[in-house]
A and B are shown apart, each in its own frame.
Chain A
Amino acid sequence: MRHIISVLVENEFGVLSRISGLFSGRGFNIESLCVAETLDPTVSTMTIVTTGDDAIIEQILKQLNKLINVIKVIDFRDTDYVSREMVLVKVNADEKTREEILRMVEIFRGKIIDVSQKTYTIMITGDEEKLRAFLALIRPLGIKDLVRTGPVAMARGDKTIKMKDKQPKGGNGDG
């Protein structure tokens, strides 16, 4: 099972290494990892895509919470959320295919951000499904290069991340 987790951390040196070390040391997967500062410059968000069954995800969440520099861990399993990712893709583009590529980029609301004699570089954002569909369509034309950011995610609606201190939890179980 694939899961998106957001981790709010102190924006300090070494924190990324603590998180990635935790994943590698305990044999957890990282499919993608995306880090940047938040509204509060002392805090960064890490959006991690990982895989595992419920017990593994439970361990990952708890182990993340246990790190001293982790302020909050958000598991998007129980929340309605939106997520977006960006892809840059360089495709073969000759006289025969240019038109078709342009049309597809338009349909998927992407952008051509660089052009050469033989290639287009396309930027496209979307959720996982949209990106998968687009790449499937474009693949037969010949993808020369591809870079993805990995997704970032946010809860839907009015819900925001509360930046209050980590609370001692009245452990009704797993804390």
Chain B
Amino acid sequence: MKKTGAQIFVESLVAEGIDTIFCYPGGATLNITDALGECDIRQIVVRHEQGAVHASDGYARASGKVGVSLVTSGPGATNTVTGIATAYMDSIPLVIFSCQVNTALIGNDAFQEADIVGITRPCTKHNYLVKDVKDITRIIKEAFHIARSGRPGPVLVDIPKDVSASLGEFKYPDRVHIRSYQPTYIGHTGQVQKAMKAIASAKRPVLYTGGGIILSDASHELTKFAEALSIPVTNTLMGLGGFPGNHHLFLGMLGMHGTYAANMAITESDLIIAMGARFDDRATGKTDEFAPHAKVIHIDIDPTSISKNIKVDIPIVGDTKNVLHKMLEISAEDKESFKDFQASIDEWLKKIAKWKKDFPLTYQRNGGLKPQYVIEKIYELTKGKAIIATEVGQNQMWTAQFYKFLRPRTMLTSGGLGTMGYGFPAAIGAQVAFPKSLVIDIAGDGSIQMNIQELATAVQHNLPVKVVILNNGYLGMVRQWQELFYKKRYTWTCLPSPDFVKVAEAYGAAGYRIDKEEEVDKVLKEAFRNNQPAFIDVHVDPLECVYPMVPAGASLKEMLLV
């Protein structure tokens, strides 16, 4: 039986097991919008297309499934670009469907035409223009396969309106075959053995792990491996939750706002075991002085990440989970090589314990309500069981420092691109995936206004996301740099905000305000118990800074402490 392209599209999503999409309509989506009207796929209509992509991204990060969004041509499509670039930098599996003007009009500067395939080429893992109705099923199958396999990433599929109107057959392929795409999952055994030899003879080893651990679902294996050999672990921002934040082997995050113990451990280490991390400049500081005494083992599924920023001694291309399995096997079998290992790293562990004790993360409690205190309270009240999204800026760094992430997929943050406005829609997406979980966006007064319109989406769909606004009256992170490096000239960064309680109420959500430390516990408890979406406007010390801090371009050991 012949079906329209739009019907074929919908059936393809169903065949792919998609039960939720985030979307926004327009002229070019109408065929598909109409066809979706008659199916069981949950459709969350957002208020801005950037919100749709971030929501699908939050859904993907929290659930491990591919996030799906659908938007119209032209401005609808261009509005997705920040969302796509955010997911691309953090390797999040998304499929973004954009609709396009009629094939015959493409290239004519038609109304609401944008070359979205051209625009998104450098920020997607791959993208497609569907030129013929008979290609829809194959392209959708490939798009989902590419998005979720290898190093995951966003894939955009552009569907012209005449293609969604044309008639064709629905037959969903059961296999994908892309001759030019075969990711490497299995780590080379010889290299893994070499790595294990290096580990056996190390005296000051550190595991440096990133988002790859979470993407490959390897946090259980990582924890087992670290425990088996008592190797301390530091996480990148993207890696938080990949190793329990309350574990005695955990050093905290490394890098620009990393802990003293993590940055010193890297600096004095003789062996860095990097897994699913890409040596981003915010993590390494000055690369010439990064881990100057260490050999580097690097395990990553993406060969381009290896030896890109830091020269690697033992590269292993493969899936971190798979490679960790092999490493665990070798460490269990090769008792001989590891028999003196514990004794030989003992001094190292003692040194680290002392760093942790002497220089813990801390903040001064004088002068007003401290944002760090609020985050500690959120951790205490949620016992680390909430799903936390963040915006970007100081709010993000304090969350990374003071909330202990105990499980993977509980930290949703724009690490690579640093997108203000990411956290709130991402939290909405996570809440859609986990309706019963407590989902909190830890926000800044600046960032929340970048996608504040999504409160209407949350209210409409009864998604009880809690937004804790650490309201310092500043674009705080930029202000911090001005304080430290631009003689306290706060140009552009002191911005008045609306009354967030009233804003929340106007949207039909709950609004709370906190001014004093004594109110924090009570009001947060009440807001978290409430089954409505809520803004909690917390007026914190406006001039608080994030410490420790490694100034941009300095080496990790040059930390400014509190």
Contacts and interface: CB of A to CB of B under 8 A. Distances in A.
B118 A62 contact: no
Given A171-B316, A172-B191, A173-B191, A166 B182 contact: yes
A62 B121 contact: no
B304 A59 contact: yes
Contacts of A167: 182
Interface string B307-326: 11000000111100000000
A18 B317 contact: no
Contacts of B146: 68
Contact of B181 (A14, A25, A166): A166
Contact of B180 (A55, A70, A173, A175): A70
A59 B308 contact: yes
B318 A171 contact: yes
Given A171-B315, A174-B307, A69 B180 contact: yes
A141 to B, nearest CB: 45
Contacts of B178: 68
Contacts of B184: 168-171, 175
B487 interface: no
Interface string B170-189: 00000000111111111111
B188 A68 contact: no
Nearest to B298: A173
B161 interface: no
Interface residues of A, number: 30
Given A168-B186, A170-B186, A68 B315 contact: no
B180 A165 contact: yes
B122 interface: yes
A71 interface: yes
A21 B115 CA distance: 15
B306 A174 contact: yes
Nearest to B190: A172
A171 B191 contact: yes
Tell me which of A17, A65, A69, A170 has the highest count of chain B C-beta atoms within 10 A of its own C-beta.
A170
A68 B318 contact: no
A168 B121 contact: no
A83 interface: no
B126 interface: yes
B147 to A, nearest CB: 11
A167 B541 CA distance: 56
Q: Sorted from nearest, which 7 A-B pairs have the closest CB atoms?
A: A171-B317, A175-B303, A173-B315, A165-B179, A68-B126, A71-B180, A175-B317
Interface of A: 9-10, 14, 17-18, 21-22, 25, 55, 58-59, 62-63, 65-66, 68-71, 165-175
22 contacts: A9-B180, A17-B118, A17-B121, A21-B122, A25-B122, A55-B307, A59-B304, A62-B304, A65-B303, A68-B125, A68-B126, A167-B182, A169-B303, A169-B317, A170-B186, A171-B303, A172-B190, A172-B191, A173-B316, A174-B307, A174-B315, A175-B184
Given A10-B180, A55-B307, 6 more contacts: A62-B303, A68-B125, A168-B183, A171-B317, A172-B190, A175-B317
